[in-house]
Amino acid sequence: MAARRDIAPFLQRLRAFLLGREHTVALRFEDGVADRTQPPPDVPGGPAHILSANYYCVRDPRRDVKPPIDLVQQKLLATGKDTAKSSGAKLPTPGAVYAWD
């Protein structure tokens, strides 16, 4: 194993005395690092873990976004009051509306 690089032993003791503690060397050496014998992760498969017939356009979540739904218009259509749209009448609004300048 290679020797750790540091200053002379006399200067190490002087540094420890002046610091009031033992100095931690910022350099990384093989005996101070975790082993690389970690087991591989066991990650559960998701919706795209099978590669056969895995088309991007089918699993792209951005394609699920649709324009906002006009609930008032749907309610008017459900009740049969479609004349509000054809006669040019305004749709009902929730509460008083403040007219900005």
Q: What CA–CA distances, in Å, run from 97 to 35, 73, 85, 92?
A: 67, 19, 20, 11
Residue pair 79/85 in contact (Cβ under 8 Å)? The answer is no
Average pLDDT of the residues in 31-47: 79
> Strands, E, within 32-92: which ranges?
none
Question: Which pLDDT band holds residue 26 (cuts at 50, 70, 90)?
Answer: confident
Question: Where exactly are the structural domains of the chain?
Answer: 1-33
Averaged confidence pLDDT in the chain:
77
Residue 11's closest CA among 29, 27, 23, 28?
A: 23
Q: Tell me what pLDDT residue 14 has.
A: 96
Q: In this structure, what is the dihedral angle of CA atoms 15, 21, 25, 29, given to the nearest 10 degrees? A: 130
Quick check: 31 pLDDT over 80? no
Quick check: 29 pLDDT over 60? yes
The pTM of this model reads 0.32
Residue 12's closest CA among 3, 24, 2?
A: 24
Higher local confidence (pLDDT), 28 or 93: 28
Share of the chain above pLDDT 70, in %: 72
